[in-house]
Amino acid sequence: MPSADENRELTSTLHLGLRSVVGNSPADLVSELISQATEEERAIIEGVLSGDNNSAMVFIHRGAQKGSRFLVTADGVSIGRSPESSIFLDDVTVSRKHASIEKAGTNFTFKDSGSLNGSYVNNESVTEKVLASGDEIQIGKFHLLFVGSKLGEK
């Protein structure tokens, strides 16, 4: 007869403490990002905000890679701990193939890929969500800010 230790689950879900995003509207988060950006970054952000909605950007604004930015095109991006991911987040709290952002019509949609620790958009656990500019995505320890051409619109 197996002991209790032998029947133990080898994996478990880790729920990280989420910071409250109450009081930070999408416009406030984007304004804060712009105010802290370099002149070059400011030009890029303003270009995306005034663009034709065929591309967007994701900025890491909290976590080990703070300041990193990634272009999201109509082809979409993969997010994960795998070095093959378009957005590579090197931390054990991130699954190898954690999530993706895909273009569907005029919108960009965030999709969790069945990750162990889950994904959050604006502090809400999600498996799929249409993104608006200023939405905050949390994957593991990383907080990413989505910037698209439509501020706070879906």
Looking up residue 132, the CATH number of its domain turns out to be: 2.60.200.20
Range of the domain at 74: 26-147
- The reply to whether 12 falls in a domain is no
Q: Is 74 left (phi over 0), alpha (psi -120 to 50) or beta?
A: alpha
pLDDT at 36: 77
In a domain, 8, yes or no: no
> Does any domain span residue 11?
no
90 occurs within a structural domain: yes
Q: Which of 137, 143, 133, 138 is nearest to 27 (CA)?
A: 133
Task: Classify residue 89: in a domain, yes or no.
Answer: yes
Residue 140 in any domain: the answer is: yes
The conformation of residue 29, written as its DSSP 8-state character, comes to: H
Give the separation between CA 31 and CA 147, rounded to whole angstroms. Answer: 11
- Cβ count within 10 A of residue 88: 16
Domain count, the chain: 1
What pLDDT, on a 0 to 100 scale, did the predictor assign at position 28?
78
Residue 19, domain member (yes or no) = no
pLDDT of residue 122: 93
pLDDT, residue 138, reads: 96
